[in-house]
């Protein structure tokens, strides 16, 4: 029986987004603290950029571009965006972190709720593909 990589990708990515959002609601300001730590540490910038590049690449390569499979196309797009963001982090972290620090200052709860909503949607759609 073949493994549905798209379902597993959606489920795992959704669970990570869901719980990251829950963590941000439980500990207001935690995302800001993490971004400030990354901004101060070239080693953290490199590790975060490389980790996101690896995860984004795996998601991108594991999900086919099949127009009949909307979830696979969405995940492929998300993987591609993660790869682009990773390269931005690696090359322009000082500029990019300032964007997020300004954004999180005004909309921390909104970003957390949006992340939870995206995570829930991915979990539901991914889990729905399992028989």
Q: Considering the entire predicted model, what is its pTM?
A: 0.89
d(CA 36, CA 78): 25
- What is the Cα–Cα distance from 37 to 48, expressed in whole angstroms? 11
CB neighbour class for 104 (10 Å; exposed up to 12, middle 13-18, buried from 19): buried
Cα–Cα dist 98/105, whole Å: 11
d(CA 75, CA 7): 10
Q: What is the pLDDT of residues 23-68, one digit of tens each?
A: 999 999 899 899 899 999 999 999 999 999 999 999 999 999 999 9
pLDDT-derived band at 22, boundaries 50, 70, 90: very high
What span, in angstroms and rounded, lies between the C-alpha atoms of 28 and 37?
16
Delimit the domains of the chain by residue range.
5-128
Residue 73 has pLDDT above 80, yes or no: yes
């Amino acid at each position: 029986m073949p493994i549905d990589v798209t379902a597993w990708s959606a489920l795992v990515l959704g669970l990570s987004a869901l719980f990251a959002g829950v963590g941000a609601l439980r500990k207001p300001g935690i995302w800001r603290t993490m971004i400030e730590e990354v901004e101060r540490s070239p080693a953290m910038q490199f590790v975060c950029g490389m980790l996101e590049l690896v995860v984004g690449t795996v998601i991108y390569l594991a999900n086919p571009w099949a127009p009949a499979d909307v979830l696979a196309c969405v995940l492929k797009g998300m993987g591609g965006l993660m790869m682009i963001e990773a390269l931005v982090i690696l090359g322009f972290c000082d500029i990019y972190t300032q964007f997020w620090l300004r954004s999180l200052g005004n909309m921390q709860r909104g970003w957390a709720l949006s992340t939870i909503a995206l995570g829930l949607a991915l979990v539901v759609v991914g889990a729905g593909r399992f028989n």
